[in-house]
Structure 1
C-alpha cells in the first residue's frame, strides 16, 4: 500500500469512528469548498439535522402576552420606587385582573388563546383558575425556584393530560404516572442512564438491548467507561418496512437482558412499531416482569392515533418525550420523563442487596428522612444535581410555562388541525424528493411517520439494477464516498445511516428542515449521482443498465 493510500485509509477509519452528527460537520466543510465549479447561486442544502423549519405560533403568542400580564402584576408591588423594582404576583383578585387584561387587549394575537386556555383548565380539567394563573405568572417571571423541583404542581397535571392524549390515546390505562420536567430529550437520556447506574439497575458487564436503527447516543453511551455495557441489537431492516421480526423481539426473552431501549417512531426511518410488535413486547414483559423498558417517543405526535409502549406495559416502561420537534422548539430544551407510580424500577431498588441499599441510603439521606423509600423518578431529580444540589433542582420555570402552553394548545385542538398541517407539510416534501430521485412513491403504510426518510442505497440499487451492480459499487467505492460527492458536487448534506445502526450504506434525510423546492433539488442531485455510477458501471463491465430506471 502506497503512502497516499495509507493516508486515505487512515482518514476513512477516523471518519468511520465519528458520530453522524460530527461526521455532518465534515460534510458541511466539503460542501463549502473543493475544486468542483458550482453556480454562484447554489446554496448548501443541509438535510442532515432534524431541527424543523416550522414553529407553533399560537402558543408562543400566548407566552408573550402572558409575560406582559405577569409584568403588570409584578409592577403592582413597589410601584412607589422609580428604580425598576417589582414584586411577586398577588393571588387575591388575580383572575379578575386577568379578565380585565383580556378585555383591554382583545384582538391581539395570543389573547384569545390565553382566554381559551384558562377556560379549558377551569372547565375541562377542573383546576382552580386562580391557582393556575398564579403558577403561570410566577413561573414566567422566574421569580422563584421550581417548587416542587420535579415539576410545578399544576404544570405536571396539564402536561400529564397532554401525554395521555398523545401517547396513550384510547388505550386502557390503569393508575397514575409521575413526570419530571427536563432540558429536552437529551437531558432525559443523560439522567436516566446515570441514575440507573447509581442505583445498580445497570452495572458494568450487564447486557441491554437496543432497537436498531436508533438515535446514535443510545449506541454510544453504553460503550463509555461510565457504563461498559454489553449490547444486544434488535434489528429492523428496510426489507421488512423497518419492523422488528418476532425472532428479533424474542431476544428480549433472554434473562441476561436487563433493559430494552428503543425510539418509537424510529430514528432515522420514522416508522412506528406495529401494533403486533408492541403487543409481543408487552407479552414478553408478562413473562419477564423484571425487564426495564425505555421508549423515546419524540416523533409519536406526528403519527395518527399513536400508542406508546408506555400504554401497553406502563409498570415496566420509562417514557421519554420531547416537545422540540412537534412544536419547532429545539432551542427551548423542553422534555419530560414519565414513570408509572407502581413500577419495576422502584421494586428492583427495594430488592437490592443490603450492602448496596445501605450505600444508597447514605447517598440520599441528606435530602429525605426516608431515603430507602425515595422513588426512582425522585432519585433522577436528585442525581441530576449531584444530590447535594437537590434543593435547587428542576427545569427553569419559564420553560415549564411554555411547555404547559404547548400542551394546552394541543389539548384544545380537538380536530388535530395543527397535526394535520404538519403531516401534510412533511409528506409533500417526501413526495417531491422521491419523485425526483425516481423512487416509486408509496404512502400506504400506516406506520410511516415521515419526519425523516432513510435512503438505503444498497436496497434501492439492488431492486433496480440487481445484486451484481451493488457488489460493484461496494467494491469500487468507499462507504462515505456518495455522501461526500453529494456535499462537494451538489452542496447537499445528508447524515450517514450507518451511524444510527442501519445495516446498509444509506443516508438520512430530514423532511422537516427545508422547503419543498429544496427537496426537489436534493432529489435531482441524488439522481444525477446515481446515474453517474450506472454509467461508470456500464463502462467498466460492458453492461447496458438503464440509468433512468425507476428505483
Structure 2
C-alpha cells in the first residue's frame, strides 16, 4: 500500500493499519522498531517438537526394515517395535527422547490404548502415507486431546465428549458457523449474541452476505477490585439480553481478546441459571484458545457441556501458529443434535438431503460428524480430517502439557507474560489486573482514561477534540517506532489500544511505556506552548 490520506487511515481495520504503518517505518533509522501490535508469541516449546522429529526418524527407519532400498514401504505390525523404539531412544539422548520415554509410560487414560498400539499408529500417522481414518480424529490423538482439555480447561471434570482436530482455531470457527447454517440451526438474518470485547474478525464474520446475522452485543465493563486490581465483568442487564428467545446462539472468546480476561465464576453461574431456566435451547460457541494462560481456568464448556461447542488451538500456548493445530469439542449429549431432531419437517427434509451421501440414516449422524463432512463439502467427506503429522503433533503437545515438564513449562510461560505486564504497567502507573482471571497475553489500555489520570482532564479534553486514536497510533509509530493495535473494532472503548505481551523481549515492555509517555509529553508540551502564545 502506498502513502494514503489521513482520512483514509481512519477507515482501515486495526490489522491493516498496523501493516501499513510497519511499511512506513525505516528500521535502520531512529529507534529500534517495537511492534507490539502482533499477537504471535516469541516462545516455542522445544521438547515436544524434538520428540516429534525423533518419532518421525524412528518411523522412517521402520519403513525401511524390510528392504535397504529407498522404495515405498509402509508401517507394518511388529511385535518387537517397542523394543526397537527403546533402543532408538537410548541412542538419541536429550529432552525429546526423555519426553518420549514419559509417553512410553503414560497411563491408559492419556493414550487411550496400550503403548505398542499407540506407537504403531503414531508411526503410520507421522509418515502421512494414509488418509486420516477415522476422518474425524485418529485414535493416536483422540484420548491425548481429551485428557489435555479435561486437565487444562475443565478442571478435571469428567465429561463425555468427542473431538475433531482442525487446521487451527480459524478453521474451526469457520466450520462451526458453516455447519450451523447447513443444519438449519441458524439461517441468514438470525439473531446471535457476541460477548464483547472480542477478536475483531468475529465481529466481521456475521456481516458476510451469506450470514447477515442480527448481532446482539453483550458488553463487559472494567471494574476495580479491592486492592486496586482490575478485571472485566458482564453486568446482569447485559446477560439478560440472552433471555430473548430470538437469540439463537451466543459466541464467546474466553479468556477474551483483547482484554485477556477470563470469564468470572459469577458470570458462569448466571449463564447456568439462564440455561436451566428460560433458555435451555441456547447454543453457545466458546473459543478458549487463551485458557491455558490462566492457572485455574474453567471453560464455559465445563460449566454447560450440553449447550456448548468448544474451540481450542495450540497456537499461542505452544508458540505453534505455523503448525495450524486446534480442535473442536462437542459433548456426546448436546443441544445441537436435539435441535436438529426438532427441526420443522420441511427444513429437516432439506437438511437430510444434504447428508444423504454420507449416511442412510441422517438421524444418527451427530453434529460433530456433520462438521467433519461439511469441512469437505460433503462430497469429499471420505478424504476429510486433519493430516496425520498434524494430529501426531497435537497429541504430543497434549501429552507434554500433562507431563511434569509440561506443567513447569506452563509456569514459565505464565511468568513470562506476567513479568512483561508488570513492567509495562509499572512504567505507565497503571493498576495490574486481578491475577485469578488474567492471562497477561494482552493489555487493553484505555488511552483516554490513562491520559486523564496522568495529565489531567484539560489535556484529555484537548486530545479528544483535536486527535483521534488512529492519529495517535500513527504518531507513535512514526516518531517513537512503537506499534500498537486500536481495539474499538474489537468492541472495546473508543480510545482503547491493545499491547501484545507475547511477541517482544521482556526488557522491551518498559521501553514501550517510556516511549508512549515521551510521545504524550511532547504533545502536551506543544499544547501548553500554544496556550501561552
Once the two structures are superposed, what CA deviation does each residue of 1:315-342 show, in whole Å capped at 9, x if it has no partner?
Answer: 0001100000000100000110001011
In the alignment, is the contact (CA less than 8 A) between 2:109 and 2:147 conserved in 1? no
In the alignment, does 2:97 pair up with 1:103? no
After TM superposition, the structure 1 = structure 2 runs for residues 432-447 of structure 1, keeping only pairs within 5 Å, are 432-436=423-427, 438-442=428-432, 444-447=434-437
In the alignment, is the contact (CA less than 8 A) between 2:59 and 2:124 conserved in 1? yes
Secondary structure at 1:64 match in 2:
helix
In the alignment, does 2:15 pair up with 1:21? yes
Q: 1:392 to 1:507 in 2, by over 3 A?
A: same
Once the two structures are superposed, what CA deviation does each residue of 1:62-120 show, in whole Å capped at 9, x if it has no partner?
Answer: 111101110110111343xx344332243432222212222333x23411110111211
Q: 1:465 to 1:43 in 2, by over 3 A?
A: closer
1:23 shift after superposition: 2.0
- In the other structure, the counterpart of 2:374 is 383
After TM superposition, the structure 1 = structure 2 runs for residues 332-481 of structure 1, keeping only pairs within 5 Å, are 332-413=323-404, 416-436=407-427, 438-442=428-432, 444-481=434-471
In the alignment, does 2:290 pair up with 1:299? yes
- In the other structure, the counterpart of 1:549 is none
Once the two structures are superposed, what CA deviation does each residue of 1:495-525 show, in whole Å capped at 9, x if it has no partner?
Answer: 1111211122122111011102222221111
- Paired with 2:216 and 2:133, the residues of 1 have a C-alpha distance of 40
- Paired with 2:98 and 2:487, the residues of 1 have a C-alpha distance of 44
Choose which of 135, 150, 155 in structure 2 pairs with 1:169.
155
Once the two structures are superposed, what CA deviation does each residue of 1:178-220 show, in whole Å capped at 9, x if it has no partner?
Answer: 1010000000111101111111211122111111110111100
In the alignment, is the contact (CA less than 8 A) between 1:208 and 1:257 conserved in 2? yes
1:379 shift after superposition: 0.7
Choose which of 200, 207, 215 in structure 2 pairs with 1:216.
200
Q: How high is the TM-score relative to the length of structure 2?
A: 0.94
- Paired with 1:291 and 1:353, the residues of 2 have a C-alpha distance of 18
In the alignment, does 2:176 pair up with 1:192? yes
In the alignment, does 2:62 pair up with 1:73? yes
Q: 1:348 to 1:18 in 2, by over 3 A?
A: farther
1:444 shift after superposition: 4.5
- Paired with 1:538 and 1:313, the residues of 2 have a C-alpha distance of 56
- In the other structure, the counterpart of 1:43 is 32
1:383 shift after superposition: 0.6
1:452 shift after superposition: 0.5
In the alignment, is the contact (CA less than 8 A) between 2:476 and 2:516 conserved in 1? yes
In the alignment, is the contact (CA less than 8 A) between 1:89 and 1:137 conserved in 2? no
In the alignment, does 2:102 pair up with 1:116? yes
- In the other structure, the counterpart of 1:32 is 26
Once the two structures are superposed, what CA deviation does each residue of 1:431-459 show, in whole Å capped at 9, x if it has no partner?
Answer: 222233x3245355421111010121012
1:390 shift after superposition: 0.4
- Paired with 2:406 and 2:376, the residues of 1 have a C-alpha distance of 41
In the alignment, does 2:258 pair up with 1:274? no
- In the other structure, the counterpart of 1:90 is 77
- Paired with 2:497 and 2:349, the residues of 1 have a C-alpha distance of 49
- In the other structure, the counterpart of 1:60 is 49
**How many residues are treated as equivalent by the alignment?**
523
In the alignment, is the contact (CA less than 8 A) between 1:155 and 1:404 conserved in 2? yes
- Paired with 1:536 and 1:235, the residues of 2 have a C-alpha distance of 37
In the alignment, is the contact (CA less than 8 A) between 1:236 and 1:245 conserved in 2? yes
- Paired with 2:456 and 2:275, the residues of 1 have a C-alpha distance of 42
- In the other structure, the counterpart of 2:146 is 160
Secondary structure at 2:233 match in 1:
coil
- Paired with 2:109 and 2:99, the residues of 1 have a C-alpha distance of 15
- In the other structure, the counterpart of 2:210 is 226
- Paired with 2:430 and 2:447, the residues of 1 have a C-alpha distance of 14
- In the other structure, the counterpart of 2:228 is none
1:30 shift after superposition: 2.8
- Paired with 1:416 and 1:219, the residues of 2 have a C-alpha distance of 34
Once the two structures are superposed, what CA deviation does each residue of 1:335-389 show, in whole Å capped at 9, x if it has no partner?
Answer: 1000101111111111111111111111111111212321111111111101000
Range with bigger deviation, 15-24 or 70-79: 15-24
- In the other structure, the counterpart of 2:510 is 520
- In the other structure, the counterpart of 1:265 is 255
Runs of 4+ in structure 1 off by over 6 angstroms are none
1:490 shift after superposition: 1.6
Choose which of 317, 326, 333 in structure 2 pairs with 1:326.
317
1:540 shift after superposition: 4.3
Structure 2, unaligned runs of 5 or more: 225-230
- In the other structure, the counterpart of 1:547 is none
| Alignment root-mean-square deviation, CA | 2.0
- Paired with 1:251 and 1:384, the residues of 2 have a C-alpha distance of 32
- Paired with 2:405 and 2:74, the residues of 1 have a C-alpha distance of 38
After TM superposition, the structure 1 = structure 2 runs for residues 540-551 of structure 1, keeping only pairs within 5 Å, are 540-541=530-531
Range with bigger deviation, 273-282 or 70-79: 70-79
Q: 1:258 to 1:542 in 2, by over 3 A?
A: farther
1:301 shift after superposition: 0.2
Q: 1:278 to 1:157 in 2, by over 3 A?
A: same
